[in-house]
Amino acid sequence: MIGSIIAAIVIGAIIGALARLIVPGRQNFSIWLTLIVGIVAALIGTAIAAALGIANTRGIDWWEHIIQLALAVIGVLLVVQFQARKTH
């Protein structure tokens, strides 16, 4: 249980950071929000991969990570859009 939580935090941080690198332009939000977006994307991505039967494969679960990253990019874009509306 503790190992799963730590893994979600680590994977979430990596996924969130990669998503911010992929999204063009400057994102003006905190590292904590990046971490939250990454963790949520990692958890939802794992659930989707499990539902598709591709969550646990031999070696690296590339499809699961691709799904997680795609969800994190969408999450970062949503945060950027929300903050743009909030400032105007």
| Residues whose CB is less than 8 angstroms from the CB of residue 74 and which lie 6 or more positions away in sequence, other chains included | 41
State pTM to two decimals: 0.85
- Give the CB-side neighbour count of residue 67, counting CA atoms within 13 A: 19
Residue 59's pLDDT band (cuts 50, 70, 90)? confident
Residue of 38 and 25 predicted with greater confidence: 38
pLDDT of residue 9: 83
Over residues 30-48, mean pLDDT: 90
